[in-house]
Amino acid sequence: NAGVTQTPKFQVLKTGQSMTLQCAQDMNHEYMSWYRQDPGMGLRLIHYSVGAGITDQGEVPNGYNVSRSTTEDFPLRLLSAAPSQTSVYFCASRKGPLQPYEQYFGPGTRLTVT
């Protein structure tokens, strides 16, 4: 199993550009989520999904869009990049949304917006 994969590893955008961060998991997990990690702060939840076709907002959703058309894939779209979105983004998955299942993280995407 590859676990949770993310592409790209690094990305530089100009303000106003849009892009999609890709995330895939091969563990047949119901629950997938996106976090951002900024210096001096804990990981913060952007959006999450409890199954194909079902998504919900986390604590910092503004400026981001998600969809979940399959169990495996959960892309994160930046609609119009802003310097405040410079961060490291992690995709994560776990078996289900409620029980204390182990959560697996991808390797991260380091995004810089100039």
Partner 1 sequence: KNQVEQSPQSLIILEGKNCTLQCNYTVSPFSNLRWYKQDTGRGPVSLTIMTFSENTKSNGRYTATLDADTKQSSLHITASQLSDSASYICVVSGSITGTASKLTFGTGTRLQVTL
- Name the residues that contact partner 1, by CB under 8 A: 4, 31, 33, 40-45, 48, 50, 54, 56-57, 90, 92, 97-98, 100, 102-108
**Least distance CB 64 / partner 1 (angstroms):** 16
Question: Are 35 and 47 within 8 A, CB to CB?
Answer: no
Tokens of 46: 């952007």
Minimum Å gap between C-beta 45 and partner 1 is 7
CB of 30 to partner 1, least distance (A): 10
Q: What are phi and psi of 8, to 5 degrees?
A: -80, 175
Q: Which is nearer to partner 1, 24 or 92 (CB)?
A: 92
Q: Which is nearer to partner 1, 14 or 40 (CB)?
A: 40
State which residue, 17 or 105, has the beta carbon closest to partner 1. Answer: 105
**C-beta closer to partner 1: residue 49 or 85:** 49
d(CA 4, CA 12): 22
For residue 73, what is the DSSP state? B
Q: DSSP states of 19-54 as a string?
A: EEEEEEESS--SEEEEEEE-TTS--EEEEEEEETTE
